Amino acid sequence: MFETTARGLSSAAGAATRHTDRITPAPDDRNVEPAREPSAFAALVREIGEDGACEVRTVFWSETSARLKLLRTLALGEHRAKFEREAHSLKSSARSFGYLRLATLALELERSAATLGDDPFRDLLVRMDAAYAAALAQEPQV
Separation CA 115–CA 109 (nearest Å): 10
- H or E segment to which residue 118 belongs: helix 118-138
Cβ–Cβ < 8 Å for 98, 36? yes
pTM of the full structure: 0.74
Give the pLDDT score at 35. 66
CA pseudo-torsion sign 54, 59, 62, 68: negative
In DSSP terms, 99 is beta-bridged to 36
pLDDT of residue 96: 87
pLDDT mean across residues, the chain: 80
Residue 25 confidence (pLDDT) above 70:
no
Please give the residue that has the higher pLDDT: either 12 or 83: 83
Rounded-to-integer distance, Cα 107 and Cα 38, Å: 20
CA distance 121 to 66: 18
Answer whether residue 126 shows pLDDT above 70: yes
Tell me: the pLDDT tens digits for 44-82?
A: 899 999 999 999 999 999 999 999 999 999 999 999 999
* Contact in structure between 113 and 80 (CB atoms under 8 Å): yes
Q: Please state the rounded mean pLDDT for residues 79-88.
A: 96
